[in-house]
Amino acid sequence: MGAKKVPLRQCIGCGEMKSKKEMIRVLKTADDTIEIDATGRRNGRGAYLCPSMDCWKKAVKSKGLERSLKMAIPKEVYETLEKEMEQFGES
């Protein structure tokens, strides 16, 4: 039997491929709300970020989150997500 394949995801900030478990999933739900998915299993379109504020800033600047979730994101949502990101990772 072969080794189990580790699911990799690309960070929308830095573009690095990392294992799904190391990353934070930002989720667009069916009713177009955006939130952080701590479990990584909820339904909806997901975008992945490294748990660092550098990657968050790059993703915001390059509009990587908007591209991945295929929608425009209001400024207030970015501010809310940034507060949540600060709790997950180091600055």
Q: How many domains does the chain have?
A: 1
**Is residue 64, in this structure, part of any structural domain at all?**
yes
Q: What integer pLDDT is reported at residue 91 of this predicted model?
A: 44
- Start-to-end C-alpha separation, the chain: 41
Domain that holds residue 33: 8-88
Q: What integer pLDDT is reported at residue 43 of this predicted model?
A: 93
Q: What pTM does this model have? A: 0.85
Q: What integer pLDDT is reported at residue 1 of this predicted model?
A: 67
DSSP string, 57-75: HHHHHTTHHHHHHTS---H
**Is residue 1, in this structure, part of any structural domain at all?**
no
pLDDT per residue of the chain (91 residues) written in tens, 0 to 9: 678 888 899 999 999 999 999 999 999 999 989 988 888 899 999 999 998 889 989 999 999 999 999 999 888 888 888 888 888 765 4
Q: What integer pLDDT is reported at residue 28 of this predicted model?
A: 93
**Is residue 2, in this structure, part of any structural domain at all?**
no
